[in-house]
């Protein structure tokens, strides 16, 4: 059945309309729960910034280490280069890939020109080495040279030490920013309110494992808070999406308590008891493997 046919079928299905009504009623309560919650905290992964949410409204930001956003922007060159290299090697749309290589080259030239102004002194040299290596690749590709499967891995192997140094510095800066910001957040929050406050780390699903923001918050909140007050909310990529996920988490906590006398029942698959019975235990499908 086509998408249009499926849509028409849904429109003629009374159960779809009933379901939509029930979900609308749930949504109205979710919005009220969010607006009634005294305070919550949100951070987006990799930013180091904490946002204070009071009664569903952003009221304050606890800013991160100043250079974090700049170095992240510059070092995203790695993903831009990898993506362009992969397209050139794949050759599926070579004309578009070559245009991308020209655009990549211009962006890398701009990034290199800003290094000494945007980065802390100790990161300028390793960043110059990494970006310089990537820039040379982009120069060749922009000039029409064919990319080879071994080209990028070999180039990055030469600068792996410098790349890891930058990644480590960013990680430490994010960790310190979260700890500092959360200290400020707690200092400005009534202790009784803080005891039930949710702290939400929001980002892509792949960022959940070994998450640095969760680790930083754990240093103040304790490991026992993970999954009860300290939450990782997946696929919330900006503040509005994060606030929507937070609102749902708050409403679902109330829903679980009201229906099942378990505030966390709706923070897992509603059908989870069936899954656990078939598997033989409760489980969490993680991404990746231990190193």
Q: Are 274 and 80 in contact (CB under 8 A)?
A: no
Residue-wise burial string across 107-131, b where 16 or more C-beta atoms lie within 10 A, e elsewhere? bbeebbeebeebbeeebeebbbbbb
pLDDT digits (tens, 9 = 90+) for 91-131: 999 999 999 999 999 999 999 998 878 789 999 999 999 99
pLDDT digits (tens, 9 = 90+) for 146-177: 999 999 999 999 999 999 999 999 999 999 99
Strands (E), 32-188: 40-44, 50-54, 57-62
Alpha-carbon distance 115 to 128, whole Å? Answer: 7
* Phi, psi of 203, deg, nearest 5: 180, -165
Q: Up-side HSE of residue 34: CA atoms within 13 Å toward CB?
A: 20
Alpha-carbon distance 181 to 169, whole Å? Answer: 18
DSSP string, 174-241: HHHHHHHHHHHHHHTS-HHHHTT--EEEEE-GGG-TT-HHHHHHHHHH-GGGBTTTEEEEET--SHHH
pLDDT digits (tens, 9 = 90+) for 183-238: 999 999 999 999 999 999 999 988 888 999 999 999 999 999 999 999 999 989 99
Rounded CA Rg of the chain: 24
Q: What is the pLDDT of residue 114?
A: 87
| pTM recorded for the entire structure | 0.90
Quote the tokens at residue 220: 């103040």
């Amino acid at each position: 059945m086509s998408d249009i046919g499926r849509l028409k079928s849904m429109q003629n299905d009374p159960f779809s309309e009933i379901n939509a009504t029930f979900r609308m009623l749930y949504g109205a309560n979710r919005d009220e729960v969010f607006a009634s919650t005294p305070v919550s905290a949100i951070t987006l992964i990799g930013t180091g910034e904490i946002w204070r949410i009071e009664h569903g409204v952003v009221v304050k930001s606890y800013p991160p280490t100043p250079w974090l956003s700049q170095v992240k922007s510059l070092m995203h060159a790695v993903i831009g280069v990898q993506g362009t290299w992969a397209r050139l090697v794949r050759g599926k749309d070579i004309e578009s890939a070559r245009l991308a290589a020209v655009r990549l080259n211009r962006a890398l030239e701009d990034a290199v020109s800003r290094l000494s102004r945007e980065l802390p002194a100790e990161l300028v040299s390793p960043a110059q080495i990494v970006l310089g290596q990537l820039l040379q690749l982009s120069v060749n590709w922009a000039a029409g040279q064919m990319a080879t499967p071994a080209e990028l891995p070999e180039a990055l192997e030469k600068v792996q030490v410098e790349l890891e140094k930058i990644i480590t510095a960013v990680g430490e800066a994010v960790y310190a920013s979260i700890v500092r910001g959360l200290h400020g957040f707690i200092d400005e929050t009534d202790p009784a309110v803080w005891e039930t406050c949710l702290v939400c780390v929001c980002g892509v699903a792949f960022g959940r494992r070994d998450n640095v923001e969760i680790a930083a918050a754990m240093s103040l909140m304790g490991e026992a808070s993970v999954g009860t007050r300290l939450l990782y909310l997946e696929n919330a990529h900006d503040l509005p999406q994060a606030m929507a996920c937070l609102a749902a988490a708050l409403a679902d906590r109330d829903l679980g308590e009201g229906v099942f006398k378990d505030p966390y029942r709706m923070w897992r698959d509603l059908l989870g008891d069936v899954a656990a019975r078939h598997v033989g235990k409760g489980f969490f499908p993680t991404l990746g493997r231990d190193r």
